[in-house]
Structure 1
Amino acid sequence: MMRLTINRSLDPKNMFALWRVPAPFKPITRKGMGQRMGGGKGAIDHYVTPVKAGRLIVEMGGRCEFKEVQGFLDQVAHKLPFPAKAVSRETLEKMRKDQEEREQNNQNPWTFERIATANMLGIRKVLSPYDLAQKGRYWGKFYMPERV
């Protein structure tokens, strides 16, 4: 679906696309229709690629402007099963600067990092190393980029 939309709109003489995610490798299993419970795990139905939040999926290059490719990249982003958007290099820089500005101008003294490092209310016993590395920006499978 993504590949077809991009390849239809892509001008192969002037543009190219780099896929920044690996090929599908994670098997998803399903049991057949009408199967009773038990009997072990079902057969492999299809393969998927897990994609983390904030990751580049496709990079476009060549002799093209962002305005030329933004239309069909927005179509691809709309078709994906998670929130996505087409970004340029300038947009990425702006997003990084906004995040840094949010961290510097934060008026709330109770940040996740301060609470975790000071072990307030014994929170370290329920936090994983992943929580400490990501500074609490993930809540289960949900990504909260505005959290400081």
Structure 2
Amino acid sequence: MVIQNQTAGMKNYKPPIDFSGIELPEKPKLTFMDKVPTYPSNLKPPKMAKRITLMRGPELIHNEFIHKQYGIVALCGGRLNSGHIEMIRMTINRKMDANRMFAVWRIDPPWQPLTRKGQGKRMGGGKGAIDHYVTPIKAGRVIVEVGGKCEFAEVFSFLNEVAHILPFNAKATSHELMEAEKIKEKELAASNVNPYTAEYVIKNNMGGCHDWISPYDKKWFFKYV
């Protein structure tokens, strides 16, 4: 016969998160964005070159969460058209609890015109007509923010769903995760024992790499394509 001695111990539970300092806005849901920018009646809609540089490199301004909670961040450059923006709006507005959550845009409405010629047309004849408008996105750009009296586990499911449907790589993350990634990146850079990093090789023109690498690689050291 086995005798079991019952013991009692102290259990430490984390206190619930305090949401007392969070105020919900009057309109918590994402607003509708126009598909076409508004121009004066006497102005013909201007055409524009491709301007690939608008998608290259890191985002230097809109790369942090304003409300310090959750959102979707782009991992590389790309373009969002009106269909993608409407998909984001409808998915988030339908699946979030507007009584205790809110969502805000961190991108501009589509403003860059993309032209296209009709099917089967001959070459020449000037630039084609405007087909649709897009919003260029750079790596690290915050696309949408979600906050309120909620935890990350509650919003991760639909934010992750939206991030995987976007035409470029993106992820659903929180302010704490972004800060932890920055700290880990600094620790890895400090603990690296190999002195021949991409930055060192490019700055010292080792192997004559300046003759064949891109000018953007000299600026961002192979981090962004």
Report Cα offsets for 1:113-133 as digits up to 9, x if no partner: 2123323344456553x5444
Q: Which residue of 2 aligns with 1:76?
A: 162
Q: Which residue of 2 aligns with 1:18?
A: 104
Is 1:34 the equivalent of 2:117?
Answer: no
Q: Residue 27 of structure 1 aligns to a residue in which SS?
A: strand
Q: Residue 142 of structure 2 aligns to a residue in which SS?
A: coil
Q: Which residue of 1 aligns with 2:187?
A: 101
Larger Rg: 2
Is 1:62 the equivalent of 2:148?
Answer: yes
Q: Residue 162 of structure 2 aligns to a residue in which SS?
A: helix
Shift of 1:23: 1.5
Q: Residue 59 of structure 1 aligns to a residue in which SS?
A: strand
For 1:30 and 1:41, locate their aligned partners in 2 and report how far apart those are by CA, in whole Å.
8
Q: Equivalent pairs: percent with the same residue?
A: 54
For 1:71 and 1:29, locate their aligned partners in 2 and report how far apart those are by CA, in whole Å.
36
Q: Residue 145 of structure 2 aligns to a residue in which SS?
A: strand
Q: Residue 98 of structure 2 aligns to a residue in which SS?
A: coil
Report Cα offsets for 1:63-120 as digits up to 9, x if no partner: 1111111111011011101111110112112211221122112232211221233233
Is 1:8 the equivalent of 2:86?
Answer: no
Structure 1 alignment gaps of length 5 or more:
140-148
Aligned residues: 138
* Between 102-111 and 81-90, the greater mean CA deviation after superposition: 102-111
Q: Residue 104 of structure 2 aligns to a residue in which SS?
A: strand
2:163 partner amino acid = A
Segments of 4+ in structure 1 off by > 6 A? Answer: none
Is 1:117 the equivalent of 2:173?
Answer: no
Shift of 1:134: 2.5
2:142 partner amino acid = L
1:93 partner amino acid = E
Output the TM-score relative to the length of structure 1.
Answer: 0.81
1:27 partner amino acid = P
Q: Residue 170 of structure 2 aligns to a residue in which SS?
A: coil
Structure 2 alignment gaps of length 5 or more:
1-86
Q: Which residue of 2 aligns with 1:142?
A: none
Output the TM-score relative to the length of structure 2.
Answer: 0.56
Name whichever structure is richer in helix by fraction. Answer: 1
RMSD of aligned Cα (Å): 1.9
